[in-house]
Amino acid sequence: MTTVLVIGGYGAVGRHTATALTRLLPDATVLTAGRRPERAAPVAGTVALRLDTADPDAMDAAPPDVDTVVMCASHENARIARACLERGIHYLDVSASHPVLAAIEPLDPTARRTGATAVLSVGLMPGVSNLLARHLTDRHPGADLRISALLGSGDRHGPAALEWTLDGLGSLRGSWTADFPAPYGRRTVHRFPFSDQYTLPSTTGAATAATGLCLDSRPVTHLLRAAGRPAVARFLRRPDVRRLLLAALDAAHVGGDGFAVTVQTEDTTVAFTGRDQSRATGLATALAVTRLPLLNPGVFHLDQVVEPIGFLGELATHGSFTLHPLPSAS
Ligand SMILES: NC(=O)c1ccc[n+]([C@@H]2O[C@H](COP(=O)([O-])OP(=O)(O)OC[C@H]3O[C@@H](n4cnc5c(N)ncnc54)[C@H](OP(=O)(O)O)[C@@H]3O)[C@@H](O)[C@H]2O)c1
């Protein structure tokens, strides 16, 4: 019997992860943890507990039978990862922040010594994007990858994800045109610091990789571009402005809840689409947990340990998502 602890397990991504785990692993015990579980709506089929990743002894206080930790919070990830891997506890992380993932990668020898597995780049982007990229680079080694996310401006994004997006504004310059499946069509995508662009050249045969973002609403995408200008981005990061902006973003729902991720090389585009990006991220993460018994000890990115088309096909079936075009598994 496995016991999975989802840290941030009642947040936007975490509650979908935890719910999907209760369905995919019906014999597992699923625990959801965070600093203030009493303030959150309970996640059916899970047990909530209090855990603050800022506490250096957080993992000492966790129940002793936990064998897998899924990190859906974005504070002290590397310290929690180390504490898990030193104890032989498997660790998965949905973070899209390259510095966070780069701080966990060096724990590979620790994981090998204790027999634990860490899987990074789990979720939608990174995650699904890594698998689409690997599908293409398996066929076109040395490809230059353009990875584009279209997010619904009316979708529910958790506070941590919105904070991450604000942090990324203005950090990278450049834009390109990406073709998304209907109903979105051709869109201008603005470069954004998703972690997969940094990791894919070393984990796949890609020559280069660039990641970008647009929103389903064209006017809001224009605002995103304006907000990326260094002076505006600096202004938006001021704590008082940031508080107001986060509240406004939480309240404003000007578009739909659809998402699309495309990965393109010079002459091929593959895509994954659906509704509710937090649900897609959570479902992909729970599906990655089910693969753990097949994996060797060590620290890996999802694209290094999972066969892309089998995994994406299963994810599409579970979540009513769509893989475009439907590539053959050969
Ligand atoms: N890979 C992907 O495709 C993808 C997609 C979306 C989001 N993400 C990432 O997923 C993460 C979560 O995003 P979200 O939208 O789910 O955010 P969210 O709704 O704000 O959820 C964050 C959760 O973490 C908990 N938390 C915060 N600080 C904590 C701490 N110090 N100790 C323990 N728990 C803590 C929060 O509960 P309390 O406040 O009660 O502690 C909450 O349950 C972010 O890092 C985001 O960038 C990745």
Q: Model confidence over 191-212: pLDDT tens digits?
A: 999 999 999 999 998 999 999 9
Q: What is the mean pLDDT of the chain?
A: 91
Q: How far is the CA of 160 from the centre of ligand 1 (A)?
A: 5
- Residue 161: is it exposed, middle or buried by C-beta count within 10 angstroms (0-12/13-18/19+)? buried
The residue that leads in pLDDT, 235 or 28, is 28
What mean pLDDT is predicted for residues 83-112?
98
User: Residue 66 in contact with residue 4, Cβ under 8 Å?
Assistant: yes
What number is the average pLDDT over the span 236-261? 73
Indicate which residue's Cα is closest to atom 36 of ligand 1.
8
Q: What is the pLDDT of residue 321?
A: 97
Pocket of ligand 1 (CB under 6 A): 7-8, 10-14, 34-36, 51-54, 72-75, 94-96, 123-127, 157-161, 164, 278, 281
- The answer on pLDDT for 329 being more than 50 is no
Q: Is 300 a member of any domain?
A: yes
| For the CA of 162, the nearest atom of ligand 1 | 15
Going by the DSSP 8-state scheme, the letter that residue 67 receives in this structure is -
In single-letter form, the type of residue at position 173 comes to: R
The pair of three-digit structure tokens given for residue 257, joined into one six-digit string = 């809840």
Q: Are 119 and 284 in contact (CB under 8 A)?
A: no
Q: Give the pLDDT mean for 241-246.
A: 67
* Listed range (191-195, 228-232, 250-254, 258-262) with the worst mean pLDDT: 250-254
> Predicted confidence band at 330 (pLDDT cuts at 50, 70, 90)?
very low
Do residues 132 and 218 both lie within one domain? yes
Helix, strand, coil percent content, the chain, rounded in steps of 5 = 45, 25, 35
Q: What is the mean pLDDT of residues 111-122?
A: 98
**101 and 192 fall within a common domain:** no
Higher pLDDT, 59 or 330: 59
Q: What is the structure's pLDDT at 217?
A: 79
Q: Give the position, in ligand 1's atom list, of the atom nearest the Cα of 280.
A: 3
The pick from 70, 71, 93, 94 for probing ligand 1's pocket by mutation, whose C-beta has the most ligand atoms within 8 angstroms, reads: 94
- In this structure, are 261 and 164 located in the same domain? yes
> What pLDDT shows up at residue 161?
84
Q: Spell out a b/e string for 219-235, using b for 16 or more CB atoms within 10 Å of the CB, else e.
A: ebbeebeebbeeeebee
pLDDT of residue 317: 96
Q: Which domain holds residue 76?
A: 3-123+279-324
Q: Which atom of ligand 1 is nearest to the CA of 10?
A: 43
How many folded domains does the chain comprise? Answer: 2
The predicted model gives 295-303 an average pLDDT of: 98
**CATH code, domain carrying 132:** 3.30.360
308 C-alpha to center of ligand 1: Å?
A: 26
Mutate to test the pocket of ligand 1, among 7, 17, 72 (most ligand atoms within 8 A of CB): 72
Task: Assess whether 175 and 204 both reside in one domain.
Answer: yes
Q: Whose CA is nearest to atom 24 of ligand 1?
A: 8
129 and 269 part of one domain: yes
pLDDT of residue 171: 76
244 Cβ contact partners less than 8 Å away, ≥ 6 residues apart: none
Alpha helices in 169-291 (DSSP H): 196-203, 218-227, 230-236, 239-251, 277-290
Q: Closest Cα partner for 287 from 257, 326, 321, 314?
A: 314
165 burial level (CB within 10 Å; 0-12, 13-18, 19+): middle
Percentage of the chain modeled with pLDDT above 70: 92
Least confident of 57-61, 119-123, 128-132, 150-154: 150-154
Range scoring the smallest mean pLDDT among 114-128, 154-168, 219-233? 219-233
For 165, phi then psi, to 5°, come to: -65, -45
Q: Which of 260, 275, 257 is nearest to 319 (CA)?
A: 275
CA–CA distance, 46 with 116 (Å, rounded to integer): 24
In this structure, the answer to whether residues 162 and 257 fall within a common structural domain is: yes
Domain identity same for 228 and 308: no
Tell whether 329 is covered by a domain.
no
Distance (angstroms) between ligand 1 centre and the Cα of 122 equals: 14
Q: Answer yes or no: is 23 within a domain.
A: yes
- Here the tokens at position 284 are 């992909």
The pLDDT > 90 percentage for the chain reads: 77
